[in-house]
Chain A
Amino acid sequence: MDFDIRPYDFVAALRGWLLISAGLAAVSLAIAFLLSVARNGAAGLKIFTSGLRSYISDTATVSLRRVLAVSRLTLLEAVRRKALLVFVIFSILLMFAGWFIADANERPELQVQVHVTFLLKSIAWLMLPAVIFLSCWSIPEDIRLRSLHTVVTKPVRRVEIVLGRVLGLSVVFLFVLAAMGAVGQLWLSRRIPENAKAALQCRVPMFGELYFLNAEGQPGNVGINVGDVYAFRSHIQGNSRARGVFVFPKFDESALTVNAEGAQELLLECRFEAFRTVKGSEQSVKKGIQAQYTLMSNPREEAFMMFAQSEVLKPTAEAFRNAEFRNAAELLKGVAGRIRTNPQELRPADYVAMYNAMDNASSVLDSRKDQGLGDLAKIFLAARDASLPIPELMARQDAGQRVEIPWEALAAAVDAVADSVLKFSPALLENLPRLEVPLPAFHVSEYHGGDDATVNLTRIPRTLRFVASDEVLARFLADTTATWNAEGKLVENGALRATLVDDLVAQSKISRLNAERLAVVLGEELAAGKLTIADGKLTLPESGSWFVFYRDLISLQRLISEDSEGWLIEKDLVNDLAKEGYLRVEVACVDDQMYLGMARPDLFVRKADRPFWVGYWKAMAGIACMLLLLVVLCVTVSCLVKGNIALFFAMTFWIVGQFYEFIMRKLSGLEKGMGSFESAVLLAQHRNPEVGMDVSSTTMKVVQAGDKSLEGILWVFSRGVPDFKVFSRATTFVENRFDVPFWDVVLPCIAVLGGFLIPCVLIAGALLKFRELELK
């Protein structure tokens, strides 16, 4: 089960519902008209219009009081006919269930899962037959006993009877469900062993997007296939540049939790899969393989990583990654030259990669217009447009067509990009900083997926103290110098402030040894005239950049850490690492010859937990929606046919609805496999699908037409059958101790119920209105 639910598009669902409802209404009216004409001849039109007018009038004059009268009657009926006995059965079941399902030796999470699953499934499965039977026989019994005949001789609209029945049955079942839920809550809180009670959690996950970097640092949507659940998980190679990159959008302070000491922290929870290629010792297998998180803020990577998709452009990507913009520009010039001289040397895939790279770079740079990178974005955009037609034109040329490929235009566009990168390199350097915070490695268990997968929870304090890389250190020192300089905290009486070291230690939280080292270096630079003091401030010659100043010092190894721990600096998780509004977490596999498998839902930010019972009652809401939908469907069908036939229809709806997702996948072509007729022929011929049928072309056409017809029927079904799986989703979340997202899980349940309720009530009202109740 994937707990990473994609956002529910309510507007699209509403649009689809309106379309289907309009289609259904049109088809129903057409059928009614044809039937009327067929039965009554010329008078059919008049009968049809008067019937339609009467139906609309009935529907428009529905009286709430009459609806409530019928629902009250239904309620009394259910109570007096002892329909609520199902609740007693449930209570008895719970009384004895504890004997069989409790196992105190199991992991706490598993104990919780077993108890919650048993409880929620029992409730759903006990309610299901009660709901179906009562709803299917409610109106047919009324008709059979003719008690409905007396009712309809009163000024009751038939649609009011339907509404009253639906409402009454719904109230009955909601009451029973609420009672079961309350008893279940009591039972859970008493039955779950003390040692497992802490696992009664309602985790609130925040999922991100995932992409992969391969061992060469090239980005891609999937990692390596190790032959194990590849459709879901991809793997990254150990001890290489391969990474799983999780990007959490809309990351802010609300994603943090508060620990027992009252400090804010980030919780990262993962369930990666370890894959081992060499046999290790029993101990090492038990221990698992090592993984490591690196928290990143890397706009350069985001802007230019797509260059790495092509072998030709990969060195350019590397240069961008390392902020070597001059080098990148030269490499791009080289590419432009190759396009001019021997364009066919580059494959069409290189030009596709070029298009993607230019497109991605332009969109990232365009988002930083306010930092002066808007013009550069336009240059990249022009190069993107120039590269767009190339692959297709090359293909046509390969096919023997005579086409003119605008190589010169493309080369000129790439040249322009190179020139602009050079021109904008200071702005790029300034505005595309790379900040990385490596976290300590942790072990991932080698159990494969499923419920046994070991969950790793990493706690990351909001204030991160870490060994800075060269670029991070250079930026840190440059920012500190610029800020302090502006505040006049560096210079005193024409020299460096005497308390500079103490101030650095106290305010910038760097070690005393490193602070002293910095003060010494600054003093040396002053003495050498590379820095000057003017107006009480440290000044760089020719308005140079502090970042470049410190980067050069670091590269000259002038700022080697005096502290054995290295340059430890502090950064704020939200304000520094996620200041762009998102958090990027790179996952690496540390061990050589090992692989780490991951999918999008395998790593999430765990927000503050909610009380377990919040999720529990949301799951109840999901079950309630399912039961109410069944009430609606059963009552609707029972307005047309007898109870037993209605039961058959309702069960068909329910069973087919369980396979809704499969049906949609099949219809959209995502589900592999042939049609029924083709499968039957293959079975008869003892042939496999790869080989195909051994039949004449005419038979082939007939078989395929048959399968197409079946697919058409399936399409019609898919428009009229509800997705019943949507209701059990909330239950699965709770069983796995996740919070149930209201907008993405509970709302679809309500929407599906509402989507069926309105047309079903209207249809049922029409069926009952135009039905001759006394007809034998």
Chain B
Amino acid sequence: MACCSFPSVPGHNEATSNMANAVIEIRNLSKIYRDFWGRKKVQAVKSLSMDVMQGEVFGLLGPNGSGKTTTMKMLLGLLFPTSGEMTILGKPASDVSKNERIGYLPEESYLYRFLNADETLDFYGRLFNMTAAERARRSDELIELVGLGKARRRQLKEYSKGMTRRIGLAQALINNPDLVLLDEPTSGLDPIGTREMKDLIVQLKAQGKTVVMCSHQLADVQDVCDRIAVLFQGELKVLGRVDELLELRNETQIRTGSLSDAAIADVRAALAKHNVTNVEISRPRADLEQLFLRTVRESTERPGRRFSTEEVSASAGTGRS
């Protein structure tokens, strides 16, 4: 397997080292797409081996066509591997009974558009052989959780994309799963929805659940994932903890309150004594997400008011919502 300058090298050794806690085990998984006549079209996944540990949030990253969605669909039994083995929650991927402990949110929320939110959750609840009372209780909880209380009687065909993602998430959690597979969970969501989704993922982790997500939104992945795997052209290129992978070992960052120009000059002088010349001192910036969330929050509290640039700048970095 090709290696690069990243500190962590993917491979079988790490995959097998934590077998005791592994929720998903993948060994030498390959998938070749063939045409009608059985001729090879493309190899989507090549000898993939990795584990996902219990209680972690795991991100599958990669550009389009890298094989991350194919891998997830093989885990769910929507596609069959050409070779290799997979176990999920200790059962083979082809064993349908494994699904009793799995929740899955597809990339697009592929739901029955003629049903309303209540009926949707009731239908999926029935598929888990849940009792009527249990279904009703769980539906109420989840509709409350995803914030669709006012739209629960409307057919899904009338829902916006964000609402559809929310009901999709609700159906994925109907069985209170131990393992949640999320395919592009923040796709189609506004920043608030995205924040809520990320909070929910963190919350799921706090409950001891395992979350596996595919996403192009690297910031989202960075925010919530404990470990990630990066696939490229069907091959695993990177696998490791996010903190370790993103740590810049040859740089140091010092963060303080606002400094005067004299203080800045003193800092530069002090660093020069240690032969540190490549020093960059500037005011840090909040990210756009923080700005957006704060604006929405303030606007909700004080409607009709417009914020000046100074106000925005002064309050930047006052914390996340």
> B220 CB to closest chain A CB, in angstroms?
22
Known A81-B114, A157-B96: A150·B171 in contact at CB below 8 Å: yes
Tell whether, in the assembled complex, residue A775 and residue B126 are in contact, meaning their CB atoms are under 8 Å apart: no
Would you call B110 an interface residue if the criterion is a C-beta within 8 Å of the partner chain's C-beta atoms? Answer: yes
- Residues of chain A within 8 A (CB-CB) of B104 are 150, 153
CB distance from A158 to the nearest CB of B (A): 8
User: Which chain A residues in 51-81 approach chain B with CB under 8 Å?
Assistant: 51, 54, 58, 63, 65-66, 68-69, 72-73, 76-77, 80-81
Query: Per-residue 0/1 for A743-776: is the Cβ within 8 Å of any B Cβ (1 yes, 0 no)?
Result: 0000000000000000000000000000011111
Stretch from B6-14, B73-81, B227-235 at the A interface: B73-81
Q: Hey, what's the 0/1 contact readout for B78-118 against A, CB within 8 Å counting as 1?
A: 11100100000000001111011010101011111011000
Interface status of A155 (Cβ within 8 A of chain B):
yes
Residues of B within 8 A of A69 (CB): 123, 126-127
Q: Is the CB of A152 within 8 A of B78?
A: yes
Is there contact, CB below 8 Å, between A147 and B94? no
In the complex, chain A residues whose CB is within 8 Å of the CB of B99? 153-156
Question: Cβ of B129 < 8 Å from any Cβ of A?
Answer: yes
Would you give the shortest CB distance from B65 to chain A, in whole angstroms? 13
Instruction: Give per-residue flags for A343-378: 1 if the beta carbon is below 8 A from chain B beta carbons, else 0.
Output: 000000000000000000000000000000000000
CB pair A773–B114 under 8 Å, yes or no, is no
B124 within 8 A of A: yes
Report the minimum CB–CB distance from B288 to chain A (whole Å): 33
Nearest chain A CB to B187 CB, angstrom units = 15
Task: Report chain A residues within 8 Å CB of B73.
Answer: 774
Of chain A, the residue at the smallest CB distance from B112 is A147
- Contact partner of B111 (CB less than 8 A), chosen from A150, A154, A773, A776, is A150
**Given A50-B94, A54-B94, A76-B119, also A146-B110 (CB < 8 A):** yes
| A69 and B102 alpha carbons, distance in the complex (Å) | 19
Among candidates A80, A150, A156, residue contacting B110 with C-beta atoms closer than 8 Å: A150
0/1 string, B227-257, CB within 8 A of A gives 1: 0000000000000000000000000000000
With A147-B110, A155-B96, A155-B97 already in contact, the answer to whether A39 and B128 are too (CB < 8 A) is no
Complex CA distance for A340 and B36, rounded to whole angstroms: 81
Q: Does B319 contact A (CB under 8 A)?
A: no
Structural contact, A66 and B79, CB atoms closer than 8 A: no
Interface string of A145-180 (1 = CB under 8 A from B): 111011111111100000000000000000000000
- B38: CB under 8 A from chain A? yes
Q: How far is the CB of B210 from chain A (nearest CB, A)?
A: 16
Q: Which of B76, B83, B126, B129 has the most CB of A within 10 A?
A: B126
Identify which of residues 77-93 in chain A touch chain B, using a CB-to-CB cut-off of 8 Å.
Answer: 77, 80-81
Asked if B96 and A58 sit within 8 Å, CB to CB, the answer is yes
A147-B112, A150-B104, A153-B99 given; A775·B79 CB < 8 A: yes
Q: Find B127's partner among A66, A77, A149 (CB 8 Å cutoff).
A: A66
Q: Which residues of B contact A81 (CB under 8 A)?
A: 114
Known A-B contacts A146-B108, A152-B77, A154-B99; the reply to A77 vs B126 at CB < 8 A is no
B129: which A residues are within 8 A, CB to CB? 63, 65-66, 155
Q: Given A54-B94, A152-B77, A155-B99, A145 and B128 touching (CB < 8 A)?
A: no
Q: Give the interface centre of A154, A775, A776 by most chain B CB atoms within 10 Å.
A: A154
Q: How far is the CB of B39 from chain A (nearest CB, A)?
A: 12
Residues of B near A77 (CB, < 8 A) are 112, 114
> What distance in Å separates the Cβ of B82 from its nearest Cβ neighbour in chain A?
9
Distance in Å: Cβ of A144 to nearest Cβ of chain B: 10
Q: Given the complex, which residues of B lie within 8 Å of A152, measured CB to CB? A: 76-78
Contact with B along A4-23 (1 / 0, CB 8 A): 00000000000000000000
Main secondary structure of the interface of A (DSSP, over half): helix
| Distance, CA A145 to CA B156, complexed state (A) | 14
Please name all residues of chain B whose beta carbon is closer than 8 Å to the beta carbon of A51 when the two chains form the complex.
94
Q: Which residues of A contact B126 (CB under 8 A)?
A: 65-66, 68-69, 72
Bound-state Cα–Cα, A69 to B124, Å: 8
Please give, as numbers and ranges, the residues of chain A lying within 8 Å of B78 by CB-CB distance. 149, 152-153, 772-774
> Chain B nearest CB: distance from A591 CB in Å?
72
Known interface pairs A65-B126, A76-B115, A147-B110; A153-B76 also in contact (CB < 8 Å)? yes
Of A50, A76, A146, A154, the residue contacting B128 (CB under 8 A) is: A154
The complex places the Cα of A39 from the Cα of B82 at a distance, in Å, of 9
Which residues from chain A contact B38 at a C-beta distance below 8 Å?
39
Bound: A68/B126 CA distance, A: 9
Q: Write out, one digit per residue, whether chain B residues 37-75 have a CB within 8 A of any chain A CB (1) or not (0).
A: 010000000000000000000000000000000000100
Report chain A residues within 8 Å CB of B114.
76-77, 80-81
Nearest residue (CB) in B for A773 is B78
Across the interface, name the chain B residue whose C-beta is closest to A58.
B96
Q: Are B79 and A774 in contact, CB atoms less than 8 angstroms apart? A: yes
Say yes or no: B127 contacts A155, CB within 8 Å: yes
- What's the Cα separation between A30 and B77 when bound, in Å? 24
Q: Which residue of A lies closest to B99 (CB)?
A: A155
Residue of B nearest to A151 (CB): B127
* Minimal Cβ-Cβ distance residue in A for B94: A54
Shortest distance in angstroms between B123's beta carbon and chain A's nearest beta carbon? 6
Kindly state the separation between the CA atoms of A149 and B181 in the bound complex, as whole angstroms: 14
Q: Are A154 and B106 in contact (CB under 8 A)?
A: no
Please measure, in the bound complex, the distance between the C-alpha atom of A155 and the C-alpha atom of B79, giving whole angstroms: 16
Q: Mark B273-287, 1 if CB is under 8 A from A, else 0.
A: 000000000000000
B-chain residues with CB within 8 Å of residue A68 when the two chains form the complex: 126
Contact A156 B80 (CB under 8 A): no
Contact B112 A149 (CB under 8 A): no
Residues 173-185 of chain B, each 1 if its beta carbon lies under 8 Å from chain A, else 0: 0010000000000
Q: In the complex the two chains form, what is the Cα distance from A585 to B78 in whole Å? A: 71
Which residues of chain A have C-beta atoms less than 8 A from B111's C-beta? 147, 150
Contact B110 A149 (CB under 8 A): yes
Complex: A156 Cα to B99 Cα, angstroms: 8
Q: How far is the CA of A81 from the CA of B168 in the complex (A)?
A: 22
CB distance from B182 to the nearest CB of A (A): 12
A54 in contact with B95 (CB, 8 Å): yes
- State in angstroms the CA–CA spacing of A145 and B104 once bound together: 17
Q: What B residues does A54 contact at CB under 8 A? A: 94-95
Docked Cα-Cα span, A63 to B119, in Å, equals 20
Contact B119 A154 (CB under 8 A): no
Enumerate chain B residues within 8 angstroms of A58, measured Cβ to Cβ.
96
Which residues of B sit under 8 angstroms from A63, Cβ to Cβ? 129
In angstroms, Cα B78 to Cα A147, docked, is 12
Residues of the A chain whose Cβ atoms lie less than 8 Å from the Cβ of B96: 58, 155-157
Q: Tell me the residues in window 363-404 of chain A with beta carbons closer than 8 Å to chain B beta carbons.
A: none
A145 and B97 form a contact (CB under 8 A): no
**Residue in B38, B96, B129 with the greatest tally of chain A CB atoms within 10 Å:** B96
Give the distance in Å from the alpha carbon of A658 to the alpha carbon of B86 in the complex.
49
A776–B168 Cα distance when bound, in Å, is 23
A65 and B114 CA atoms in complex are apart in Å by: 21
13 A-B contact pairs sorted by A residue (CB < 8 Å) = A66-B127, A66-B129, A68-B126, A69-B123, A72-B123, A81-B114, A152-B78, A154-B127, A154-B175, A155-B129, A772-B78, A772-B79, A774-B79
Hey, which bits of chain B sit against chain A, CB under 8 A?
33, 38, 73, 76-80, 83, 94-97, 99-100, 102, 104, 106, 108-112, 114-115, 119, 123-124, 126-129, 155, 168, 171, 175
A-B contacts besides A65-B129, A153-B76, 9 pairs, CB < 8 Å: A54-B94, A68-B126, A76-B119, A80-B114, A153-B104, A155-B99, A157-B96, A772-B78, A774-B73
Q: Which 8 A-B pairs have the closest CB atoms?
A: A69-B126, A146-B110, A154-B127, A80-B114, A153-B104, A774-B78, A155-B99, A155-B100
